Chain A
Amino acid sequence: MDAQPLPKLMRDAVIDTICDAARKDKDILFISADLGAAALDGLRADLPDQFIHAGISEQNMVDLASGLALSGKKVFLYAMAPFITARCYEQVKCVIASMNLPVTMIAVGVGLGYDHATLTHFTPEDIACMRALNGIEVLTPGDAEAAKEIAKVAIADPDFRYIRLDRQGQAPLYDGGFKAVYDQGFGHIVEGQQVAIVACGALVQKALRAQETLTKKGVDAGVIDLFRVKPINGEGLSKVLGGYDTVLTVEEQLLEGGMGSAVAEALIDHNVLKSMKRLGMRDGFEVVNGDRDTLHDLYGIDTPHIINAVLELAGKA
């Protein structure tokens, strides 16, 4: 059997797209806090004047971005997820959010992407933290196509955005259809009736695996890729979720304030009261040596946990 080609990395899709645009627009600047990518080598070689190494100085990177943005530059910040969020959160709040500057923050390795690096490199709180910022848009592409389209929007319509990229390549999700659902803020990947499984990023794939098994077990589950958690399309989402009997959310985040919370908020705000369950990480979570799948299993957010939770919601446990 031929080996499956590895899916394109989201970071390369995003950087290639920005690089193409930057060739035609001198005001596009790409700033890295010492994080690389295959595609970045090309950008650095071809457009040295539009690449800035901020130092391993995330705080400097953000403050710098504010001055550049105030001077009319289109700024793209690039770093590992933990260090572009928590490490410089106050800078983002004070100088980007407070002035609502059109700065695009690109994070690599969200959630548990840096599996073996553990606590300092996990971001079990980045959705909660970042969506709490005033005026920010929070986007989690589920595949390279989505990442590329989101990058295009960030170029064409600069705004204060936080883009959460997966470190590992993700299997194609959209097959050319992402553009059509962009405005909606979520993709209804598989339609169903009984239980809606809502996920984003890498966990969409796990939700799809679960959905396949559930079909065989006679449960009609659907899968929703909630790629824009803020501003959440509460009206659209609650309409779709309203068509299901129950809702399950699953995420690589602590449950407090994460994606599941955002979904619950949207449903409440739109008076759609459903039985609902959230799967996610819990306070005091253990740390072990292991890859991302091992961690998903440990934290109860892997495919079998999704299956069990859906069966429970469907009254078939």
Chain B
Amino acid sequence: MASPKNGKIKLNVNDLQAKAHWLRQELFEMVMRQKKGHIPSCYSCTEIMVALYYGGVAKVTEGQPDDPERDRIIVSKGHAAMVQYPILADLGFYPKSELERFTEPGGLLGMYADFRIPGIEGISGSLGHGIGMGAGFAMAARQDGQDYRTFVILGDGECYEGSIWESAMFAAHRKLDNLIAIVDRNQLCILGRTEDLLELGDMEEKWRSFGWEAISIDGHSFDDLMPAFDRVGKTDGKPLAIIANTVKGKGISFMEGRSEWHNRMPSDEQIAQARTELGLGA
């Protein structure tokens, strides 16, 4: 991979789009091999993850998952933490062959991310813990005089958990401007649309009222994502919440915006259709 050995990887928008395309393909192959995983939840945050890792946002060092100066990236909606797996292999944190052993006996990569996987900062899978964990990383960085930042990807359904708001209040009080929450606002959880089931309302306003700087963007547009991440470090002592409006299942037409695909596997016919849409061979 063309990137500096140290520091940030910065691709242009065209290359970022290609990378997002690549990530969707890799994820599809990985999940369909074993028919285990959460494709729609990964696809709504695909561009977010690509922008973070490849858009010159997060500090990552190829082959060095434990670099003490790395930015910490936590996918708090842990059922989608597998979105990181192809990226972490691409960064040389573990062999690419591990992707083929996803969920298989003896493989490194499980259905849910685990802190033993190089590049995964902490365990996830129970919703609502990532922001508090992230606040911990952010405070440690502050205490240790370190410059690294902590990025936490949250589900919008996950924001129903009260623990999210306990940590949000704490982070604002502590002026943790080295903590960034990206809310994957795909408007869906498992049983349907968030606004029908239990209204989340104006997320931007909610985070702002908790003392965060908050902005809303199109979470699939690099033209939106990159300027949003440019705000990091310029928030005048406030943690930053990026409300990324997204489409669950983005990239596979029959899954887009449909909650029933959360944990369902496509039929052979549907797999063929998805492969065509994703530009994968038959």
Residues of A within 8 A of B (CB): 32, 34-36, 44, 53-57, 59-60, 82-83, 87, 116-121, 287-290, 294
Contacts and interface: CB of A to CB of B under 8 A. Distances in A.
Interface in B152-192: 157-158, 160-162, 189-192
A147 to B, nearest CB: 21
A53 B125 contact: no
B105 A116 contact: no
B100 interface: no
Given A57-B160, A57-B161, A290-B105, A121 B191 contact: no
A314 B127 CA distance: 47
Interface residues of B, number: 30
Contact of B110 (A35, A60, A87, A116): A116
12 contacts: A32-B191, A36-B190, A53-B197, A56-B127, A56-B189, A57-B160, A59-B162, A60-B160, A117-B112, A118-B111, A120-B125, A288-B105
A220 B162 CA distance: 53
Given A56-B127, A83-B126, A288-B105, A119 B160 contact: no
Contact of A34 (B107, B128, B162, B189): B189
Contacts of A55: 160, 197-198
B124 interface: yes
A122 to B, nearest CB: 10
Contact of B157 (A36, A56, A118, A294): A56
B125 A119 contact: yes
A290 B105 CA distance: 6
A119 B78 CA distance: 12
Given A34-B190, A289-B109, 15 more contacts: A36-B190, A54-B198, A56-B128, A56-B158, A56-B160, A56-B189, A82-B126, A87-B126, A116-B110, A118-B125, A120-B112, A120-B124, A287-B110, A289-B104, A289-B111
Overall SS of chain B's interface: loop
Interface string B111-148: 11010000000011111100000000000000000000
Nearest to B198: A55
A25 B110 CA distance: 44
A120 B126 contact: yes
The winner among B104, B158, B198 for most chain A CB atoms within 10 A is B198
A44 B190 CA distance: 14
Nearest to A35: B190
B103 interface: yes
A104 to B, nearest CB: 20
Nearest to B197: A53
A82 B78 CA distance: 15
A294 B101 CA distance: 16
B106 interface: yes
Nearest to B124: A120
Nearest to B129: A120
Contacts of B275: none
A119 B103 CA distance: 14
A116 B103 contact: yes
A35 B191 CA distance: 7
Interface string B187-225: 001111000011000000000000000000000000000
Contacts of A119: 112, 114, 123, 125
Given A83-B126, A289-B105, A118 B110 contact: yes
Contacts of A83: 126
Q: Which 7 A-B pairs have the closest CB atoms?
A: A120-B125, A55-B160, A116-B111, A53-B197, A120-B126, A56-B160, A55-B198
B157 A34 contact: yes
Given A119-B125, A289-B104, A57 B189 contact: no
B190 A289 contact: no
Contacts of B19: none
A140 to B, nearest CB: 22
